[in-house]
Chains A and B, each alone.
Chain A
């Protein structure tokens, strides 16, 4: 997350609409058509609003997407209903239902990934401004903001921890199982201590920014929906309407 808000930034409302609609369809849809459509829309949205990060997005998509295909294919083992698709020596390996479930699960994961990618690029100030403009109390807004910021912090600290651990000259692959358990315990300990330090600093930072003050506080920064935001909201409503129409 970044700490700036440019004029090109989308309002948080269309993002919220996108997130809610795609998540809802990912949970409700049993056929996979609407989930697929939402996944496509999210991908296009990512490409449009983050054109400079396309390479990074595609790289991560490839890594995570491939790993999750393997995970999703586990559905083939448990879903035996439907017509056989692939048979080896009279043993039905793949059925239509199993294949559909695997595909649906993969699409759900990909929707989650695309949403996480989009949300991770929302600036902290942007998010706080949004909560303030929809009249969420400042205390709650600040708390939500700090919680969101903790997630990337933990991730980066885990990576740094692993780096420092390796820099001790230890080759993790060559460690015995017992040593690996000890290594994991040490890493978790370091992560816990760093997180506690971070949280105590954050508590101080929150108080300095007005946490705990009585009454309501409104940011004077202008924050209204622009034409492009309305455009996204319109498209979201249109796709939702289309979805309800085909599944009526």
Chain B
């Protein structure tokens, strides 16, 4: 859990590193070495940005998360087994009611949670949530952290989750630090 010295620092740092090829407006951003770098990075890094509108590629939430699972086997679309895993993930997050919804009709907070699940399904080594509080109520923030802890223990995952938090109250941070989260204050680049 990172208390950012400068608000949105995590988001800006990752945007500068990862989105740079897009800004260069050259073909290298779309094809070639830079594009391969993005694919490689995407295999070990999951990212929930706060300043980008999420892009979903499937017409239902369930399929969208299943696509995340399918990316392990270099498949563009999730199969039945992936969809089953996706449903259980939604169930674990208590979001079963969203399974058949179109991702583009979700609220900001719901979109963020679904995007998080698509990234979680990739099972990356590092997962960064740029701004935990953005668009999520305290209840949903707690549910998200609870979900991460439960899944990590249940499947004995060796994954580092970095959460960007700004202006959170002290007692809330202490509550989660007591449950095993490590808290640091600083810049992502330093950490």
**Contact surface of A with B, Cβ cutoff 8 Å:** 56, 59, 63, 159-175, 179-180, 182-183, 186-187, 189-190, 193-194, 197
Contacts and interface: CB of A to CB of B under 8 A. Distances in A.
Contacts of B58: 186, 189
A164 B42 CA distance: 9
Contacts of B29: 159, 163
Contacts of A170: 39, 42, 71, 74, 76
Given A164-B57, A169-B42, A186-B58, 8 more contacts: A159-B22, A160-B55, A162-B30, A162-B35, A167-B18, A182-B77, A189-B57, A190-B57
Nearest to B18: A167
Given A190-B55, A197-B104, A59 B26 contact: yes
Q: Lowest 8 A-B CB distances belong to which pairs?
A: A186-B57, A169-B43, A169-B42, A167-B42, A164-B55, A182-B76, A183-B76, A166-B38
B150 interface: no
A174 B40 CA distance: 13
Given A159-B30, A160-B22, A169 B39 contact: yes
B62 to A, nearest CB: 15
Interface residues of B, number: 36
Contacts, number: 84
A175 B118 CA distance: 20
Contacts of B18: 167
A160 B77 CA distance: 19
17 contacts: A59-B26, A160-B55, A163-B22, A168-B42, A168-B67, A168-B71, A169-B43, A172-B35, A173-B36, A175-B74, A179-B74, A182-B76, A186-B57, A186-B58, A189-B57, A193-B56, A194-B55
Interface string B83-118: 000000000000000000000100000000000001
A56 B36 contact: no
Contacts of B42: 166-170
Contacts of A182: 76-77
Contacts of A186: 57-58, 67, 76-77
A171 B76 contact: no
Contacts of B47: 167
- Counting chain B CB atoms within 10 Å of each CB, the highest count among A168, A179, A180, A194 belongs to A168
A140 to B, nearest CB: 30
A55 B22 CA distance: 18
Given A159-B22, A183-B76, A186-B77, A169 B56 contact: no
B164 interface: no
B76 A175 contact: yes
Nearest to A157: B55
A161 B76 CA distance: 14
Contact of A190 (B19, B56, B75, B118): B56
